[in-house]
Structure 1
């Protein structure tokens, strides 16, 4: 007589879901240990897999999604500038939320402008240019493309890693400060500045600067940031415009 299948037949009885199966990457000749560790982390990162499934160009999309869900700065009609926008994940999030394609006929139509040092694959609803935001008159060029000032300036930029933690911290803080000064030039009064920083002790001057120029400054580590990363994001809202000058 054939036996009746038990209640656990066909089920994973190991007590682990599929994403709990850790993928270990073997070292290879010519590959640095840091590269092997990065690849292993990518293969075991649920946000990487989720980004592929959702059609985003990178896991960073979930960071701006989470920040916007909390602070609501990407709204219909907003004019958004994304500094260092490659590969474009933040732009993909911004386009539908500011209604850049005009698909929500009852809502205002916004603008999404991305700039980067390298070419970025086009994204429907966004205007993407190759531009160094540190170049002379870059602010004027951006406002010309926007046909006015921005409501949001956001940046997920990070300086190239040197492998030295303190040096990398100083570099990204300097980059964030440069992005902040750029934002001061192009933001509309009441606007928002969002940028990635690294925790490490040198960000105090940046915080003071932003608190002088904005009505509220928050520091957030999204749940989608890797737990072993020192990155966090500053969200400065309510730009004071000329009132923020000494």
Structure 2
């Protein structure tokens, strides 16, 4: 590998969030402290057009483009809406909500998150029974939108990891059903595979429309999809 100046190995910024307009993929020098999987992940981040555009626009993460595309289709992030963001770190979804006029938004994550005013942020375990009431106290009323980009820490055992994923989605759904105002919207990251049909069937009992959405910013080799449930029927 030639020792080109770093600027020559930079990825050409995409236009409009599309896959075109990319330069030659950059390869990073292998660091002894990185595992092969970490090395591959880092190279993918450097070469990913959405990650590059997120950095150029000052977004917290490439996930900002996912919620942007979803909201462009369903139009739930609007001025005056009350929003809860579950698993908000590093803040890409909350950032887009604020840019779209949302001023009453609360979020929670296990990880620390740099301030995103006017959002109110809790560093807490969402599954802690005390978390939900604290979020509602900060929000000051029933939310119009509950967002969940939560994902559990994986242990490398497929069945166990799948159960953890489904468990978090079910917890997010239970919370949304308890607090959403009638007509509200629920959006959650999910994964294709066993259990998704049951989750969708359950949501359809409580919402007028439920869709499985795969945004362009979601990598094609990922099983990641998003459940979008609109028109909450109320309790």
TM-score w.r.t. structure 2 length?
Answer: 0.86
Equivalent in the alignment of 1:105: none
Shift of 1:183: 0.9
Shift of 1:140: 2.1
Q: Check the 8 A contact 1:218/1:236 in 2, yes or no.
A: yes
Counterpart of 2:89 in 1: which secondary structure?
Answer: coil
5 Å-filtered alignment, 1:82-97, equals 82-97=85-100
55-64 or 184-193, larger mean C-alpha shift: 184-193
Q: Which residue of 2 aligns with 1:66?
A: 69
Whether 1:154 and 2:185 are equivalent positions in the alignment is no
Asked whether the equivalents of residues 155 and 194 of structure 1 are also in contact (C-alpha less than 8 Å), the reply is: yes
Q: Is the 8 A contact 1:169 1:199 kept in 2?
A: no
Deviates further, 124-133 or 149-158: 124-133
Query: Does the aligned pair in 2 maintain the 1:154–1:195 contact within 8 Å?
Result: yes
Alignment of 1:180-199 (within 5 A): 180-199=173-192
Please say which structure displays the higher CA radius of gyration.
Answer: 1
Partner of 2:115: 122
Partner SS for 1:238: strand
Q: Aligned ranges for residues 1-246 of structure 1 at < 5 Å?
A: 19-100=22-103, 111-242=104-235
Deviations 1:146-188 (A, max 9, x none): 1111000001111123334444333212211111101111111
What per-residue deviation string (whole Å, max 9, x for no partner) do you get for residues 66-98 of structure 1? 000000010110000000111111111001213
Distance 1:18 1:216 in 2: 36
Which residue number in structure 1 is paired with residue 4 of structure 2?
A: none
Separation (CA, whole Å) in 1 of partners of 2:37 and 2:172: 29
Q: Secondary structure at the match of 1:145?
A: helix
Q: Which runs of 5+ in 2 are unaligned?
A: 1-19
Secondary structure, aligned partner of 2:184: strand
Provide Cα deviations, 1:33-71, integer angstroms capped at 9, x if missing partner: 110110111111011110011110100000000000000
TM-score (norm 1): 0.83
Native 8 Å contact 1:169 1:202 kept in 2: no
| Deviation of the 1:133 alpha carbon | 2.2
Could you tell me whether the CA contact under 8 Å between 2:64 and 2:96 is conserved in 1? Answer: yes
SS in structure 2 at match of 1:241: coil
**Which whole-Å CA distance do the structure 2 matches of 1:99 and 1:175 have between them?**
25
- What CA distance in whole angstroms lies between the structure 2 residues aligned with 1:238 and 1:207? 14
Q: How many residues align?
A: 216
Alpha-carbon separation, structure 1, partners of 2:231 and 2:21: 44
Shift in Å, 1:124: 2.1
Q: Indicate the RMSD between aligned Cα atoms, in angstroms.
A: 1.6
